[in-house]
Amino acid sequence: MKKEEIRPALEAALFMSNEPITARKLAKILKANTNSVEEIIKKLKEEYETENHGIHVLETNQGYQLKVKPDYTNLVRPLTPYQDLSRGLLKVLALVAYKQPITQSEIVKVIGNRTYDYVKKLRDRGLINTVKHGRTKALIATKEFANYFGLESTEDFKKFFEDMVRKDEKRDDKPGPEVSSERTEEPE
């Protein structure tokens, strides 16, 4: 890739990635030098922070990502309501929407131990509530969850997630994890 093409391609890559991406991976994708990519990212970060932009380059331990500045997130959220949620978070939300109330331990059986982090993040964002249920927690969706996804009520969850799964399957051509419709009861 020509040197003058790296910056716009880098911006496009950061924009399209739904999770942070390392400079090394970006360099590999763009067929560029890692040091050049890091320099361009540094310049982009400075530019987006000092000028009047609605986006910024977010740097995390996992890499870089182009994100909407926090001041504008609530304003533009209706345009892309669930794009800032990872697949794991969306899977937990889908299970909660379909089977609420569902226990955290039931979700752990489907998704694994990452469930605990996902539940905490979703609870902190106000998208779900947790209620003590024996040795686990029961999870239910909140009104904020409906608002976040632009739904009229909590009854619209199932249809929304069915539509989202269909779109996701068409995009990936990969079936999602099988989720049994049978409920298992937790020991008291």
Domain 3-75 sits in CATH at 1.10.10.10
- Domain locations along the chain: 3-75, 87-172
Residue 181: the pLDDT is: 38
Domain 87-172 sits in CATH at 1.10.10.10
Among 65-79, 85-99, 126-140, where is mean pLDDT lowest? Answer: 65-79
Q: Is 148 left (phi over 0), alpha (psi -120 to 50) or beta?
A: alpha
Residue 166: the pLDDT is: 66
Residue 19 predicted with pLDDT over 90: no
Exposed/middle/buried for 161, CB within 10 Å: 0-12, 13-18, 19+? Answer: buried
Q: What is the pTM of this model?
A: 0.47
Q: Indicate if 87-172 has the same CATH topology as 3-75.
A: yes
Report pLDDT digits (tens) over 126-165: 899 999 989 999 999 888 887 777 666 666 676 766 666 6
Quickly state the pLDDT bin for 86 (edges 50, 70, 90): confident
